């Protein structure tokens, strides 16, 4: 299982926010996801980051999202 930290972009005057979820699947860059965080929208995965600690990849991944126009 992975811990995904979903990073939502700044929308209007609201700051960037994030949501943490647990998943057995990691989205690929360019894939679309639906999330009901502060705003219910469809989001596109634009970047994924992962930490390495003492040569071991972390099970926490940072997924950076961009809003998809409806």
Confidence of residue 8 (pLDDT cuts 50, 70, 90): confident
What does the alpha-carbon distance between residue 64 and residue 60 come to, in Å, rounded to a whole number? 13
The per-residue pLDDT for 69 is 75
DSSP string, 22-68: EES--PPTT-EEEEESSSEEEEEEEEEEEEEETTEEEEEEEEEEEEP
pLDDT tens readout for residues 31-44: 998 766 555 678 89
Query: Between these two residues, 56 and 12, which has the higher pLDDT value?
Result: 56
The per-residue pLDDT for 5 is 92
Query: Rounded to the nearest 5 degrees, what angle is found at the Cα of 7, between the Cα atoms of 5 and 9?
Result: 175
Structural domain of residue 48, as residue ranges?
2-67
The per-residue pLDDT for 33 is 85
Beta bridge partners, 57, equal: 52
Report if pTM > 0.75: yes
- Tokens standing for residue 23: 């998943």
The structural domain count of the chain equals 1
């Amino acid at each position: 299982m992975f811990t995904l930290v979903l990073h939502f972009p700044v929308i209007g005057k609201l700051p960037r926010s994030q949501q943490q979820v647990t998943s057995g699947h990691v989205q690929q860059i360019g894939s679309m996801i639906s999330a009901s965080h502060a705003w219910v929208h469809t989001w596109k995965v634009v970047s994924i980051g992962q930490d390495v600690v003492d040569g071991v990849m972390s099970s926490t991944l940072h997924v950076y999202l961009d809003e998809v126009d409806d």
